[in-house]
A and B are shown apart, each in its own frame.
Chain A
Amino acid sequence: MKEMSELDTIAAISTPPGEGGIGIIRISGAEAARIGAQILRHPSGKRITSWPERQVRLGLVLSPEGTVIDEVIYFLFKKGRSYTGEELLEIQGHGGYQNLKKILNAAIKAGARLAEPGEFTKRAFLNGRLDLVQAEAVIDLIRAKTDLAHQVALTQLRGELSAVVQELEDQLFEILVPIEAALDYPEDDIPPLVREQTANKITVICRRLEELLANADQGIILREAATVVLAGRPNVGKSSLLNRLLGEERVIVTPIPGTTRDFVAETIDLDGVPARLIDTAGLRESDDLVEKAGVERTKEIMKEANLILVVLDAGEELTPAEEEMVINSKHKPLIVLNKTDLPAVLTEEELKGKFPAAQVLSVSAKTGAGLTALKAAIREVLIGRRDFEEHPVLVTRLRHKEALEEALAYLRSVVQGLSRQQSEDLLAIDLRAALEALGRITGRAVSEEIIDRIFAQFCLGK
């Protein structure tokens, strides 16, 4: 999590997304009541001057322009007595997402900062209201974006990845312990290292790690949501395509922190796969400093994206800039030919001929034609045709993926070292490094365990 100022007052929509009877906005921090005073009014329209603690009141929320957004109930927790441990204002409005977003916007205009994911929990932790394990559990729950992601999270919770990794650790300990024992007790009876057999055993472990890693990207997408960027010239219909995609799916998450001024990002559920759609609308080369910064950020987002949709207008000729966009999109480009309800100037066949590697899909954001196929195609590019029930153990955290990759690299070095007659001390260093890396997943302390195992397994010492 980024280091953020913990002095800010933060605000966010706290209820699950989707249409509900009511929705909750929470504002936490020293400024909560002041912000409340700015956006809330008595039903009579008068300003609110007293904030009795934990008393439920009826009120109106005003937009920055002074119009009434919603009729709400609200109540205030004093510092030290709320979930976060800070002064906290809770506003319960009517449940429509657009409505809640307007209230949130009003709070932000009045001086609140949009909370980062999990930031309420972080504050609760920092103020001693939760311990770290509880805090992490809450954050994971908050972050489970789709049912499938939720299932995977549950699998994790049951510790299946951990169990698989622990088994691999045990096998590695069995290889490492006799080596270590012999290094520290050169004059005791310890079976000598059989290089070929050891290399074979480690190769099997490497293969298992490779299998786990093969699914890691998909696992991470399931947990963190894939980033899908809609790119294209202005007026090709990106925004309406986005609205179409969103309109048919339930909207899950609010704007990406830090980029709210430039991008609209919403998460949709593609048959269990969460995808965050980012519209780069309105951004073009510009002399305007603010827009320039925006262009930089666009480039950054494009770089991090899991998939780039290049949206083209069927009613117009392909421009050189668009051609470049297709060629530069780092993944297998997915071209979306929009406005196919209009007379065609640019056709699917033409594009396929021009970009044989690209997949081209014809849609009409206006009529909705081709959207089902588009969603299926996006899902497939992101996670393939995988049926996740076949792969119960999924790596869903980048941290875990990195640990597995590190362990794999060290083990490959051991296999190579074994065949190149590398000395045992170096083999032990790499084996240990692999175990340390896996220990970041399972929390096992390598050093102590080696010594315990040495003396449990071998009768040593004079």
Chain B
Amino acid sequence: MQKYFDVAVIGAGHAGCEAANAVAKMGFKTLLLTLNYNNIAFMPCNPSIGGPGKGHLIREIDALGGIIGRITDQAHIQMRALNTKKGPAVRALRAQTDKHLYQETMRKHLEKQPLIIMRQGEVTALERTKDLWRLILDTGVSYEAAAVIIATGTFLRGRVHIGSLSYSSGPQGQHPSIALAENLEAQGIKFKRFKTGTPARVRKRSIDFSKMIEQPGDWLEHGFSYWLPWQPRTPVSCWLTYTNERTHQIIRDNLHLAALYSGAITGIGTRYCPSIEGKVVNFPDKERHQVFIEPEGLNTDEMYVAGLSTSLPEAVQDEFLRTVPGLEQVEIVRPGYAIEYDVVAPEQLSTSLQLRSCPGLFTAGQINGTSGYEEAAAQGLIAGINAGRYLSGEDPFVLGRNEAYIGVLVDDLITKENNEPYRVMTSRAEYRLSLRQENADLRLTEYGYKLKLITDQEYEAFLQKKARIQEKLRFLEENYLSPNSPEAIRLQEETGVALQQKTSLQQILKMPEIKLSLLWKILDQERSPGEEDDVLENMVKYQGYLEREEKMAERLLKTEAKKIPPDFDYDAVPNLSMEAREKLVKFRPETIGQASRISGVSPADLTTLLIWMTRNNQP
């Protein structure tokens, strides 16, 4: 039995799989431990991946050489393009997946990686021995690794609540991880308690779909991954129905039985995944709430009831579900539940996702207080990359807020008091128009290649794509239409736009009425494959806005360039407000930029800090 690894990853969920894959690709021997080999890449919540912000993350992970995009493409049963009319910044893909196929595809992918060894086993303790970490399992077996990534999701001291029923458990009846939480706490790692929840799963044949609105998928020309040939599947539909006043009345009448309202739960829930009891209480005027019925997979009768996450007793769940049109005869397969779990207080993390007090110990995913598979995968990738860089003595890989949603996510995590599970949103991104889903490879693949996560072959394809875009851009810049040319006349026929003078194609494309596809049609030019035309069109059309974001980013980079030493003595700086001093000592920002985003640190405090640093010749 192999006992020594470069990196050990604890937990094979969405963060752990991504982390192990990255570390192995960088050339390190990797141990991936899971509590249950059947549950690798298990999706305990809805069978959906992507959406605004989240879909952007998937694209970025894929552009850097991560795997969630490829696996999703292979396991999808429906793909939708969202926000198609709301502008390039927020266009996003969302997939419904077959959960079982997803797990199987991920497991097979990881099993094929020569440097990954995947094993079942529960880590009960971590011990620091000189430069190594020893992982001690419940069976008494132990391993050694130079770096460890903890990606335990909601398992640390997990506790499930269904009405008054409450027991120690991981998600969906899995074994919780208690000993490890106690061991980490004993080593000084601070935890806080979060809560999340999931709705009941119901039997498909008990549903009357004729009372619901069908939500078909789209036939799209591309999936998430930049690298896999896209193989669309016949979309499987989801179904929309609504709650009503009767549903709400039952929930209100039984509120005292809900674990969330009876006082049984102390963990903090998120606004981003509210329970139905929370919705009814917080929005009493809303007459109905959406309910989406989503298939858990192709080869199962289980359906996911999105929108009705709950901690009410099973009997009450059964009663309120039956008030929803189409669910009158519904049969529950598994009840919904709320789960409480330990998360690492975020101020202990550095931008590399390493615990500041424990060299070589990284955390990623829900343990860091996020919600969502996508957020978890993004952190898994970053923790994996940085564990690798830690081993080779290189500086951490940090993405800026202007470069990627991943950068926004990590920065938010380490600078914000997280009072609820964190969800990525496009409204959190200051550079939203620059961080588009279709240009993630242009933003990030260069990094992925340098990090050895992108293969030579993939990189070659990327360079070719870039060259094609450049060439077309030049074509648009260098070619003109004259007012009375046949093309200009066609343009006027199609759009009503009459050219007054000789105008470059680039200028024409900037007009709001003109689409690139139309321009190609008029010019009898071939469209480019995939999303290449989208990239081109957005670059040209939104040049002004993009330049504005670039200028903003320059200012950001200046503040990020001002580093604060890790052992900086804030007590030596006179005049910092009490609150700022406390927060700065707690979060230990690595740059002035980060400091500026910590709540409670005012511009006045920053000025004070900057002046002090300048006067005392800090770099």
The listed residue with most B CB atoms (<10 A of its CB), out of A133, A422, A428, is A428
B128 sits at the interface (CB 8 A): no
Query: Given A131-B604, A448-B599: A183 and B90 within 8 A (CB)?
Result: yes
Which A residues touch B290, using CB under 8 A? 187-189, 462
Contact A423 B575 (CB under 8 A): no
Contact A462 B309 (CB under 8 A): yes
For the complex, give the distance between the alpha carbons of A454 and B306 in Å. Answer: 20
Contact B274 A426 (CB under 8 A): no
Least Cβ distance of B475 to chain A in Å?
A: 25
Query: Given A126-B615, A459-B283: A183 and B427 within 8 A (CB)?
Result: yes
17 contacts between A and B (CB under 8 A): A125-B575, A130-B575, A132-B575, A132-B604, A180-B427, A184-B53, A186-B82, A186-B86, A189-B290, A425-B426, A426-B87, A426-B89, A426-B542, A454-B427, A455-B271, A460-B274, A461-B273
Interface residues in A406-462 (C-beta closer than 8 Å to B)? 420-426, 428-429, 433, 443, 445, 447-448, 450-451, 454-455, 459-462
Which B residues touch A127, using CB under 8 A? 574
A128 sits at the interface (CB 8 A): yes
Least Cβ distance of B342 to chain A in Å?
A: 23
Which A residues touch B603, using CB under 8 A? 443
A308 sits at the interface (CB 8 A): no
B289 sits at the interface (CB 8 A): yes
B279 sits at the interface (CB 8 A): yes
B282 sits at the interface (CB 8 A): yes
Contact A462 B306 (CB under 8 A): yes
Least Cβ distance of B94 to chain A in Å?
A: 8
Contact B90 A461 (CB under 8 A): no
Query: Given A183-B86, A451-B425, A462-B306: A133 and B292 within 8 A (CB)?
Result: no
Chain B contact patch, size range: 35 or more
Query: Given A184-B53, A459-B274: A451 and B575 within 8 A (CB)?
Result: no
Interface residues in A115-146 (C-beta closer than 8 Å to B)? 125-128, 130-133
A182 sits at the interface (CB 8 A): yes
The listed residue with most B CB atoms (<10 A of its CB), out of A126, A180, A186, A424, is A186
Contact B52 A459 (CB under 8 A): no
Contact B575 A183 (CB under 8 A): no
Which A residues touch B548, using CB under 8 A? 433
Given A186-B82, A186-B86, 10 more pairs with CB closer than 8 A: A130-B575, A183-B86, A184-B90, A421-B512, A424-B87, A424-B90, A433-B548, A447-B428, A455-B271, A462-B292
Q: Which residue numbers of A lie inside 8 Å of B, CB to CB? A: 6, 125-128, 130-133, 180, 182-189, 420-426, 428-429, 433, 443, 445, 447-448, 450-451, 454-455, 459-462
Q: Which of A420, A426, A451, A459 contacts B279 (CB 8 A)?
A: A459
Q: Which residue numbers of B lie inside 8 Å of A, CB to CB? A: 46, 51-53, 82-83, 85-90, 92, 271-274, 279, 282-283, 286, 289-290, 292, 306-307, 309, 425-428, 430, 432-433, 512, 542, 545, 548, 574-575, 577, 599, 602-604, 607-608, 611, 615
Contact B86 A424 (CB under 8 A): yes
Q: Which of B87, B282, B292, B309 contacts A425 (CB 8 A)?
A: B87
Contact A128 B574 (CB under 8 A): yes
Which residue of chain A has its CB nearest to the CB of B273? A461
What 8 A-B pairs come out closest when comparing CB atoms? A128-B574, A423-B87, A425-B87, A425-B89, A132-B604, A462-B306, A455-B271, A459-B283
Which residue of chain B has its CB nearest to the CB of A457? B283
Contact B52 A420 (CB under 8 A): no
Least Cβ distance of A236 to chain B in Å?
A: 47
For the complex, give the distance between the alpha carbons of A180 and B86 in Å. Answer: 11
Which B residues touch A185, using CB under 8 A? 52
Query: Given A127-B574, A459-B286, A462-B306: A184 and B433 within 8 A (CB)?
Result: no
Which B residues touch A128, using CB under 8 A? 574-575
Contact A420 B271 (CB under 8 A): no
Least Cβ distance of A454 to chain B in Å?
A: 7
Least Cβ distance of A424 to chain B in Å?
A: 4
